[in-house]
Amino acid sequence: MQKRRLGRTDLLVSKICLGSMTWGQQNTSAEGHAQMDLAFERGVNFIDTAELYPIPPKAETQGHTETIIGSWIKARGNRDRVVLATKVVGRTANEWFRGGRPSRLVRVDIFDAIDKSLARLGTDYVDLYQIHWPDRDVPWGANPTRIGGTQLRADSPGGEETPIGETLAVFDELVKAGKIRHLGLSNEGSWGIMRFLAESDKGVGPRAVSLQNAYNLVNRTFEVNLAEVCAREDISLLAYSPLAQGYLTGKYDHGARPAGSRSQLFNRGQRYETANAAEVLLEYNELARSFGVEPALFAGAYVVSRPFVTSSIVGATSVAQLETALAAADVIWTEEMQKAVDAVHQRVGNPCP
């Protein structure tokens, strides 16, 4: 599988990254191991996880995903061949991460997070340590199509925030201590990226190398401002949710909710259940079929084909699903497909930011 450079680093990562957020809740440890075995047999060398996982987040399951990955790395003895990425939570009122208190992007909390992650992963370092979401009052995903009345104001309710320079200084300590190699951002916007870069350019901390944001057929908001920022600043896009939480597989078409699917099990699909989302999702799924390609393969191939995507983060709850996700890397994306996708996007925009 093709490898692409991660930011300005010397790391080469596979153009498909294996996501892990179902392991430890929807998937057992053995199933997680089977997925990692298959992915690495097919040339994937990149695993993404988070202290938050599995999803949906719960106190009783938090951290289980990292533990499963750690047990696989120990069993296979392949740490030197794995590019391992995890994340620290942003500001949250959930108290189970820090043993009974809310969490912020401050020194005591970040050190607590990385030390627990390293213990669960069974490693001395992670290659990419990402800030899961910002420590400021912004819409989830940080690149919305509409803004609420008080959002983006520093004095908005709950607007107290940890200065980016203060957070970066902690990451500088982590790099010097050998606990992490590189810093990545996630669910971040253009302003946030540029502030992180401005601080690091002043020598405050490590330079961010990547951005993990949602990107798929029904959410191309990355292209509006972030694409130029990332291209000019050598920030790699790690695209999550290429299948829009499964809505671009066709399994939810016409209101279907298959037993055992995420939408049927958990009430967490609101991002892809906006007012006109069902009609747009169906249109893209039918477009895929018109090219003789199953929707999941079509949607995955679209993301992998984009020149500004360094790696597409795929997730699966079965080996069969993972087979399809990995096969997207081999689809030849044609100019005809792109023109058809762009024609739909011109009419419907980004219904699911």
Residue 189 phi/psi, 5° resolution?
-105, 180
How far is the C-alpha of 113 from the C-alpha of 99, rounded, in Å?
A: 11
Q: Looking at residue 150, what is its pLDDT?
A: 55
Give the residue, 214 or 147, on which the prediction is more confident. 214
Tens digit of each residue's pLDDT (9 = 90 or more) over 275-314: 899 999 999 999 999 999 999 999 999 999 999 999 999 9
Percent of the chain with pLDDT over 90: 86
Q: Looking at residue 153, what is its pLDDT?
A: 59
Tokens matching residue 291: 């090219």
Mean pLDDT of the residues in the chain: 94
Does any domain span residue 272?
Answer: no
Give the residue, 155 or 224, on which the prediction is more confident. 224
Q: Looking at residue 310, what is its pLDDT?
A: 98
Lowest mean pLDDT among 128-137, 177-186, 225-234, 246-255: 246-255
Does any domain span residue 287?
Answer: no
Which residues make Cβ contacts (< 8 Å) with residue 196, sequence separation at least 6? 164, 168, 185, 188, 208
Give the residue, 229 or 258, on which the prediction is more confident. 229
Does the pLDDT of residue 42 top 90, yes or no? Answer: yes
Percent of the chain with pLDDT over 70: 95
CATH of the domain at 122: 3.20.20.100
Does any domain span residue 344?
Answer: no
* Angle 142-301-27 from CA coordinates, rounded to 5°: 70
How far is the C-alpha of 143 from the C-alpha of 151, rounded, in Å?
A: 12
Does the pLDDT of residue 30 top 80, yes or no? Answer: yes
Q: Looking at residue 154, what is its pLDDT?
A: 57
Q: Looking at residue 149, what is its pLDDT?
A: 58
- Under the banding of pLDDT at 50, 70 and 90, the label for residue 256 is confident
Which residues make Cβ contacts (< 8 Å) with residue 152, sequence separation at least 6? 137, 138
How far is the C-alpha of 120 from the C-alpha of 324, rounded, in Å?
A: 29
The total of structural domains in the chain comes to: 1
Which is nearest to 352 in space by CA: 259, 265, 252, 258?
Answer: 252
Which is nearest to 326 in space by CA: 337, 312, 338, 307?
Answer: 312
Does any domain span residue 315?
Answer: yes
How far is the C-alpha of 146 from the C-alpha of 143, rounded, in Å?
A: 9
Does any domain span residue 8?
Answer: yes
How far is the C-alpha of 300 from the C-alpha of 167, rounded, in Å?
A: 34
Does the predicted model carry a pTM greater than 0.85?
yes
Does the pLDDT of residue 15 top 80, yes or no? Answer: yes
Q: Looking at residue 144, what is its pLDDT?
A: 83
Under a CB-based contact definition with an 8 Å cutoff, are residues 241 and 222 in contact?
no
Q: Looking at residue 160, what is its pLDDT?
A: 80
Which is nearest to 61 in space by CA: 24, 109, 30?
Answer: 24
Q: Which domain does 234 fall in, by range? A: 3-249+299-333
- Under the banding of pLDDT at 50, 70 and 90, the label for residue 137 is confident
Give the residue, 110 or 146, on which the prediction is more confident. 110
Does the pLDDT of residue 259 top 80, yes or no? Answer: no
Q: Looking at residue 152, what is its pLDDT?
A: 58
Tens digit of each residue's pLDDT (9 = 90 or more) over 172-196: 999 999 999 999 999 999 999 999 9
Lowest mean pLDDT among 74-78, 104-108, 244-248, 257-261: 257-261
Does any domain span residue 71?
Answer: yes
- Under the banding of pLDDT at 50, 70 and 90, the label for residue 155 is low
Does any domain span residue 209?
Answer: yes
Active site includes 53? yes
Under a CB-based contact definition with an 8 Å cutoff, are residues 87 and 62 in contact?
no
Catalytic option among 53, 247, 252, 284: 53
Does any domain span residue 282?
Answer: no
